[in-house]
Amino acid sequence: MYHIDIMTLFPDTVGDVLSESILGRAQERDILRIETHQIRDYTLNKQKQVDDYPYGGGRGAVLQADPLYQCWDHICKQYDKRPHTIYLSPCGRTFTQSDAKRLAWEQDHLILVCGHYEGIDQRFIDECVDEEISLGDFVLTGGEIAAMAVADAVCRLVPGVLSDAECFENESHWDGLLEYPQYSRPEVWHGRTVPQELLTGNHAKVERWRRKQSLLRTRERRPDLYEKLDLSSKSDQKLLSELERELSRLPLPRLVECRPAKEDDLASMEVILAQAKALLAPIGQWNDNYPAREDFEADMALKTCYVLTCCGEVSGFFTLSPQPEESYSAITDGKWSSNEPYAVIHRCAVAEKWRGSGLADRMAAEWERLALTWGLEWLRVDTHKKNKAMQGFIRRNGFRYRGNVLVEVPPPYDPRRAAYEKRLRHPAPDVKKTS
């Protein structure tokens, strides 16, 4: 059993707090025993006075050494071994989680001494105290809150107090990191959603997201802790470069518009096209000659080419056509869900500087809006089998994989494409006829 004795002028307050909830139940199960001691009970004067003026003058009073000593000695005499004695003081070393671990695992009995007034007589500290602990760089009226904090932090690490070591091993300060943000039901509250990664049910993805958030939080809020971390592992390095990329992204401006593309837009569209081609070059999806200015001009003539503008600047483009795509009729390894008319997405890209800003999601919302305006309830799109980024993006936006289609590309390019579809809204159910 782990013992804590607390010397205080307010034993009832301290006792009440520490016998609630988890610590209360651990005491009922004899894993812990926390006892409070009224320092006044150990004074020899009738008034039960425990303080006096400070030598040398000055304001306030000082807790006298002898009542403190008598109380401490009374506790010590009940045990064979002198308990580790801590004076809670703003002059002590600041308490940390490693102190909590050390005290929980290297000691089995603590005496916590709560000061009051201007503090306590130094001679008691010199004779009886093993260490001084501060709760932080501020001054409290008395040591009680500090003693309760230390007792609580130590006791929850005593084996058996919490159901599982996992309860504290993933928490802030355990391994020098701050904890990731936590969410509980409902999934949407006041319009705020739970991060998508936590809803996947994929344990590895959840763990990865949590580690990344912990790193980010620690870096932003506690650079002092962050600089002590060992982040040399391959997986941390990968997370850090992802974070760098994400943090360098621009936030999406309020003024984003979608409109049919005009000839004047072609120069800006070609810049975005060159950026997209550079990105897709390793998988060979778009090549030197495709798509080209002529493809955009043809789309414009058909009024199927659109641009997205951020504060008036062309920042993305796409083609959305209400005409069925011939190659989609020969789908393999699967099938389309419906033969109903659909809109098909071709040639879409966002400018490099807006990648990751949410502009692509905005573009996906525009596909839906336009298709619905045309009375079409299905969207179809295809992308290169190796274009994982595009596939992830369309899946996130509600598209489902349906099979493979073959597109016309010059050799040696791979003509196979992954085909996806999305149903935009479920038609209203048939109204039952009543006779």
Ligand X SMILES: C[S@@+](CC[C@H](N)C(=O)[O-])C[C@H]1O[C@@H](n2cnc3c(N)ncnc32)[C@H](O)[C@@H]1O
What's the CA gap between 190 and 188, in Å, rounded?
Answer: 7
| Closest of 221, 225, 210 to residue 173, by C-alpha | 225
Looking up tokens 């969410």, which residue turns up? 183
User: Nearest distance from residue 41's CB to ligand X, in Å?
Assistant: 19
Closest distance between ligand X and the C-beta of residue 356, in Å?
44
Q: Is the dihedral of CA 270, 272, 275, 276 positive or negative?
A: negative
DSSP 226: H
- For ligand X, which is the closer residue by CB, 67 or 142? 142
Whichever of 132 and 236 has its CB closer to ligand X, that residue is 132
Please give the residues from 29 up to 48 whose contact with ligand X meets the rule CB under 6 A.
Answer: none
Contact between residue 198 and residue 209 where contact means Cβ atoms under 8 Å apart: yes
Output 93 or 396, the one with its CB closest to ligand X: 93
Rounded Cα–Cα distance for residues 184 and 181 (Å) = 11
Least spacing, CB of residue 135 vs ligand X, in Å: 4
Minimum distance of ligand X from residue 199's CB (angstroms)? 42
Nearer to ligand X, 111 or 135 (CB): 135
Q: What is the DSSP letter of 196?
A: G
Q: How far apart, in whole angstroms, are the C-alpha atoms of residue 313 and residue 307?
A: 10
Q: In whole angstroms, how close is the CB of 9 to ligand X at the nearest point?
A: 10
CB of 97 to ligand X, least distance (A): 16
CB of 194 to ligand X, least distance (A): 37
Which residue lies nearer to ligand X by CB, 90 or 324? 90
- Residue 40 CA to residue 66 CA, distance in Å, equals 11
3-state secondary structure of 410: coil
DSSP H or E segment with residue 321 = strand 313-321
* Distance of closest approach, residue 366 Cβ to ligand X, in angstroms: 57
Q: DSSP assignment, residue 383?
A: E
- Asked if residue 139 binds ligand X (CB under 6 A), the reply is yes
CB of 67 to ligand X, least distance (A): 14
- The one among 8, 36, 85, 134 contacting ligand X by CB under 6 A: 134
For ligand X, the closer CB: 55 or 138: 138
HSE of 254, CA atoms in CB hemisphere, 13 A: 0
Nearest-CB residue to ligand X? 115
What's the chain's length in residues?
Answer: 435
The 3-state DSSP class for residue 17 equals: helix
Q: Which stretch binds ligand X (CB under 6 A): 10-18, 141-149, 155-163, 176-184?
A: 141-149
Q: What are the helix and strand counts (H, E) for the chain?
A: 14, 16
Among positions 291-330, residues that touch ligand X (CB under 6 A) are none
Decide: 374 and 341 in contact? Cβ < 8 Å.
Answer: no
- The answer to whether the CB of 317 falls within 8 A of the CB of 307 is yes
Binding mask 87-126 for ligand X (x = CB under 6 A): -xxxx----------------------xxx-xxx------
Residues forming a β-bridge with 120:
63
Question: Which residue, 85 or 285, is less far from ligand X as judged by CB?
Answer: 85
57 binds ligand X (CB under 6 A): no
Q: How many Å is the Cα radius of gyration of the chain?
A: 34
Q: How far is the CB of 132 from ligand X (least distance, A)?
A: 8
User: Of 83 and 143, which has the nearer Cβ to ligand X?
Assistant: 143
Phi and psi for 434 in degrees, rounded to 5?
Answer: -105, 140
Tell me, by CB under 6 A, how many residues bind ligand X: 20
Cα separation values, 70 from 65, 113, 268, Å: 9, 13, 85
Residue 82 is classified by DSSP as P
**Comparison of 10 and 401: residue with beta carbon closer to ligand X:** 10
Cα atoms in the Cβ-side hemisphere of radius 13 Å centred on 204? 1
Q: Which of 86, 135, 151, 273 binds ligand X (CB under 6 A)?
A: 135
Binding to ligand X by residue 142, rule CB under 6 A? Answer: yes
User: Hey, which residues between 70 and 89 contact ligand X (CB under 6 A)?
Assistant: 88-89
Compose the 144-183 pattern: x for residues touching ligand X by CB under 6 A, - for all others. Answer: --x-------------------------------------
Catalog residues that contact ligand X under the rule CB under 6 A.
Answer: 88-91, 114-116, 118-120, 134-136, 138-143, 146
